[in-house]
A and B are shown apart, each in its own frame.
Chain A
Amino acid sequence: EIVLTQSPATLSLSPGERATLSCRASQSVSTYLAWYQQKPGQAPRLLIYDASNRATGIPARFSGSGSGTDFTLTISSLEPEDFAVYYCQQRRNWMYTFGQGTKLEIK
């Protein structure tokens, strides 16, 4: 099983600031990695797939990068609606796994 480790667990920032979230895989997943946003009481929403492709309707302030074992989700300038929990997920093999999440909170 591929383990995904996200850091930091909690990130405290202000609107307008830049957010950088990290996801590290226990073995290479190539670029088969996605990022999701989840708000309280809601299902996750797909933001980024294949490490760097924005899903339909996702604003350009969200970007993803990385390959192999190290990945980054960047939010260039935080909007109030961006404060949520973010998860990474790999599809390198059929046994999909998620990271434990990073909570992005308002400072």
Chain B
Amino acid sequence: QVTLKESGPALVKPTQTLTLTCTFSGFSLNTTAMRVSWIRQPPGKALEWLARIDWDDDKFYSTSLKTRLTISKDTSKNQVVLTMTNMDPVDTATYYCARSYGASGGYFDYWGQGTLVTVSS
């Protein structure tokens, strides 16, 4: 059974750095063609893909947020970590991690429940 769960602070102040952890089970990021992405959704708005890390440690970032994002993995703990620097109120959103796998590896077949992050002083 594949599960993913996001964890991190519910509230951050402007200019602070956000660190989110995705803890997953039921699959391994050592498996060829396995990938984990972070996606966010501001309240009442659309989904926005942020970053992806692959089984071979390749990393990809949204061009608009690239300078602020870092994604990493700890395969021994089955975790993927996203850091976002210089947080702003417009970054208030539900942050999801999601898995993609295989030849159609750009689609997200399993998602976490999401974690709401509010940016406010």
Choice from A1, A94, A98 contacting B47 with Cβ under 8 Å: A98
**Interface bits B63-104 vs A (CB < 8 Å: 1, else 0):** 110000000000000000000000000000000101000001
> For this complex, into which size category does the number of interface residues on chain A fall?
20 to 34
Cα distance A84–B58 in the bound complex, in angstroms: 34
Total A-B pairs, Cβ < 8 A: 58
- Tell me if A's interface is mostly helix, strand, loop or mixed: loop
Contact A43 B49 (CB under 8 A): no
Q: A44 and B47: CB pair below 8 A?
A: yes
Interchain CB contact (< 8 A) of B108 among A32, A46, A56, A95: A46
Chain B positions within 8 Å of A36 at CB level: 47, 108
Asked whether B107 is an interface residue with its Cβ less than 8 Å from the other chain, the reply is yes
Q: In the bound complex, what is the Cα–Cα distance between A27 and B47 (angstroms)?
A: 20
Q: Are B37 and A96 in contact (CB under 8 A)?
A: yes
Would you mind naming 23 contact pairs between A and B with Cβ atoms under 8 Å apart? A1-B63, A32-B106, A36-B108, A43-B96, A43-B98, A43-B111, A43-B114, A44-B96, A44-B108, A45-B111, A46-B108, A46-B109, A87-B47, A89-B49, A94-B52, A94-B60, A95-B49, A96-B49, A96-B106, A97-B49, A98-B47, A99-B46, A100-B46
For the complex with contacts A34-B106, A96-B52, 6 further pairs of A-B residues with Cβ separation under 8 Å are A1-B64, A36-B108, A43-B112, A46-B107, A46-B108, A91-B104
